[in-house]
Amino acid sequence: MRNWGIFVFIFILLGAFSCGNTKPQNIEGHILVITEYGNIKIKLYDKTTEHKKNIEKLVDEGFYDGLLFHRVIQNFMIQGGDPDSKNAEPGQKLGSGSLDYTLPAEFVPEYYHKRGAIAAARKGGLINLEKRSSASQFYIVQGDIFSYGELDTMEIIKNQQIKNDLVRNHLMAVDDEIQVFRQNNDREGFALKVAEIRDRVDSLITARNLIFKFTDEQREIYTTVGGYPSLDGDYTVFGEVIEGMDVVDKIAAMETDQNNRPLQDIKMKIERIK
Q: What is the pLDDT of residue 205?
A: 87
- In angstroms, what CA-CA distances link 236 with 47, 115, 150, 247, 265? 11, 15, 22, 23, 27
Is 122 inside any structural domain? yes
State pLDDT tens for residues 136-155: 999 999 999 999 999 999 99
pLDDT (0 to 100) of residue 172: 86
Whether 45 and 106 share a structural domain? yes
Structural domain includes residue 215: no
In the chain, the number of structural domains is 2
pLDDT value, residue 9: 41
In this prediction, what percent of the chain has a pLDDT beyond 70? 90
Does residue 58 lie within any of the structural domains?
yes
Given 179, 207, 235, the domain boundary residue is 207
pLDDT digits (tens, 9 = 90+) for 92-136: 999 999 999 999 999 999 999 999 999 999 998 878 989 999 999
All residues at 6 or more sequence positions from 7 whose CB lies less than 8 Å from its CB, including other chains: none
Q: What is the CATH number of the domain that holds 247?
A: 2.40.100.10
Burial of 256 (0-12, 13-18, 19+ CB in 10 A): middle
Same domain, 188 and 99: no
pLDDT of residue 226: 98
Distance in angstroms (rounded) separating the CA atoms of residues 42 and 38:
13
Q: Going edge to edge, which strands form the sheet with 38-44?
A: 69-73, 77-80, 138-141, 117-120, 237-243, 38-44, 30-35, 269-273
- Structure confidence at residue 165 (pLDDT): 87
C-alpha distances (whole Å) from 133 to each of 81, 165, 221 are 12, 18, 25
- Does one domain contain both 56 and 109? yes
Same domain membership, residue 115 and residue 139: yes
9-23, 62-76, 132-146, 162-176: the lowest-pLDDT one: 9-23
Q: Do 46 and 156 belong to one domain?
A: no
Same domain, 108 and 232: yes
Q: Are residues 165 and 123 in the same domain?
A: no
39, part of any domain? yes
The model's pLDDT over 37-73, given as tens digits with 9 standing for 90+, comes to 999 999 999 999 999 999 999 999 999 999 999 999 9
- Do residue 66 and residue 196 come from a single domain? no
Local confidence band at 23 (pLDDT 50, 70, 90 cut-offs): very low
User: What confidence tens digit (pLDDT) does each residue in 184-242 have?
Assistant: 998 988 989 889 999 998 898 888 888 999 999 999 999 999 999 999 999 999 999 99
In a domain, 76, yes or no: yes
Flag whether 124 is in a domain: yes
Q: Tell me if 46 is assigned to some domain.
A: yes
Q: Which domain holds residue 159?
A: 149-207
pLDDT at 169: 86
pLDDT at res. 28:
57
Whether residue 8 has pLDDT greater than 60: no
| Same domain (yes/no): 159, 57 | no
Alpha-carbon gap, residue 63 to 268, rounded angstroms: 10
Same domain, 55 and 181: no
Whether residues 58 and 138 share a domain: the answer is: yes
pTM of the entire predicted model = 0.84
Nearest one of 66, 117, 89 to 240, comparing CA atoms: 117
Give the other-Cβ count within 10 Å of 90's Cβ: 9
Residue 91 pLDDT exceeds 70:
yes
Given a cut of 80, is residue 14 above it in pLDDT? Answer: no
Q: Is 234 within the bounds of a domain?
A: yes
Choose between 35 and 182: higher pLDDT. Answer: 35
User: Domain check: are 188 and 243 in the same one?
Assistant: no
